Structure 1
Amino acid sequence: MPDTVYSFCRDEDGAITIDWVVLTAALLGVTYLASSLIGTGTMSLRDEISIAIDNHTVGGNF
């Protein structure tokens, strides 16, 4: 029985799977953070452009 537990603890077959799961989760977290920051900045810029267009008057003489 102790030999089985020792060999199980020394086995590294599934270690690469855990590495990929952690790396993928980190990549998804960074992607979500970046997209939320870009989305917030884009909405702010959209609001500023909308206000500028609303305040602009177009003359009747072309």
Structure 2
Amino acid sequence: MLCTLLMGWMVTWLGRYMARYFKQLWQNQDGAVSVDWVVLTAMIVGLIAAAFSGVEGGVAALTTKLMEYLQNLTVGV
């Protein structure tokens, strides 16, 4: 009986403690700027990756043409 009462009290206390903890965590704005920077940085990296994937084929073709030009170039003759 005592064990049941003690467990019930602990569960009630833990529930109140956790509710208070999450309320304070929700109201705390200390880490909000860090989260903003992480999201902003992730968006920039995503845009750069999208831009590179869009021009990848053109860069490969340009590189091939440049290599052909340089291989056919005669120097010092």
Q: Which TM bucket (shorter chain)?
A: 0.5 to 0.7
Q: Deviations over 1:25-50 (max 9, x none)?
A: 11001101111211212224556x48
* 1:21 equivalent among 38, 41, 49: 38
Alignment of 1:13-52 (within 5 A): 13-45=30-62, 49=65
Superposition TM-score, scaled by structure 2 size: 0.49
Larger radius of gyration: 2
Q: Pick the structure with more helix per residue.
A: 2
SS at match of 1:38: helix
SS at match of 1:13: coil
Aligned AA for 1:29? Answer: G
Question: What is the aligned residue count?
Answer: 51
Is there any run of 5+ residues in structure 1 with no aligned partner, and where?
Answer: 54-62
Q: RMSD value over aligned CA atoms? A: 2.4
Task: State the percentage of identical aligned residues.
Answer: 30
Q: Which stretches of structure 1, 4 residues or more, deviate above 3 A after TM superposition? A: 1-5, 44-47
